[in-house]
Amino acid sequence: MSNSRASVASRPSSVPRPAPRARLVSLKSVDLEEDESPRSVPPPLPKRDVASSAPPSRSAPPSAATSAPVSAIVPRDPRPLEALEPVVVPAPAPVPALEPVRASAVVPAPVPTPRTRLAGDELVTAMFDRVHALHFVADALEAASYCLTVIADLIPCKAILVHFFDATRRDFIVVAARGICGDDLVLERHPASDPVLEVGISRGRAAMVNDVEPSVGTSVARFATLGGVHRVLVAPVMQADRCLGAIELIDPSDEHAFDAADGNSVGYVADRFADYISSHGVIVDVSAVARFAFGSQKPDAPEGSQQE
């Protein structure tokens, strides 16, 4: 007790004491205590016309558009919405119906077949270079086979035949053949009056027929075996006026007609072939031809032989 009094006595007198806390009373309760009767709400102030009371702008003078009422700026259409005329949009022009194209009416353009064989001087030069080896073969049958190979490589055809003339029987015999039905045509015989071979032999040089008549294509036996022909080149193998045989080309593979370069090149081979067999002789012995072509006797081969 004495300690508390001593602490109070030692507190400086200049420090004021804190005021006592006031009791919190809500404003509503205070108002009710001061005046129990409810207060009346004052009437609202009249609205001021902002447009009339606001001073005009100094930057721009007032215009009629700003001072006019809104109804004068945007006039209202007195007609109801239903009475307005509709906007007519024109219909698009009708598109005519396209007629269907029939498949039978479409005709594809013919595609030309490219020439796949040599032509002109190039063909003649190639034939000249390759036929030189003809002098190194053993006999007339090997010579015929070699000439057939050279021509077939440079002028591919449907069929190429080498005929020897049998002077005893006065007809031609096929000793070498290349192309379709080649084996069937070897050892076949044709008369000296054959309408195609006779053309070249009578002229004494290569002859070309690029439009063989259908009657000839069916009447000649070898052509009938090939199923008909359209173009034929015949180069006679002759020594002076003596006929030793013929080289026959049938239907070029590229379907182009025979031309002068084809005739000259095949004629040159036929002349060199004639020079060879004039010194070695022709072989028309059926057994010899069959052994060379097939390795044995061909069935149903005709009898007879001749070597000149």
| pLDDT above 50 (res 33) | no
Pick 89 or 111 by higher pLDDT.
89
Residue 102 pLDDT: 57
| Token pair recorded at residue 64 | 């009629």
**Cα maximum dimension of the chain:** 180
- Dist CA 265 CA 35 (whole Å): 145
Average pLDDT, the chain: 76
232-239: strand order across its sheet: 189-191, 171-179, 157-166, 242-252, 232-239, 207-209
Helix pair angle (140-154, 260-280), 10° resolution = 170
Which of 139-143, 177-181, 212-216 has the highest average model confidence (pLDDT)? 139-143
Residue 32 has pLDDT above 50, yes or no: no
Question: Which pair of structure tokens corresponds to residue 132?
Answer: 């030189």
Q: Has this prediction a pTM greater than 0.75?
A: no
Query: Which residue is listed with tokens 């809104």?
Result: 70
Of residues 69 and 139, the one with the higher pLDDT is: 139
| 146 Cβ neighbours under 8 A, 6+ residues apart | 133, 134, 137
Work out the average pLDDT over 188-206: 92
Check residue 180 and give its pLDDT: 86
Q: Identify which has the larger pLDDT, 110 or 185.
A: 185
Count of beta carbons in the 10 Å neighbourhood of residue 257 = 13
pLDDT at 78: 61
Domains of the chain by range and CATH?
139-294 (3.30.450.40)
Angle subtended by helix axes 286-294 and 140-154, to nearest 10: 50
* Per-residue pLDDT reduced to its tens digit, 278-295: 999 999 999 999 999 888
Mean pLDDT score, 38-44: 58
Give the whole-angstrom CA distance, residue 158 versus residue 150.
15
Residue 241's pLDDT is 86
Confidence at residue 1, expressed as pLDDT on a 0 to 100 scale:
47
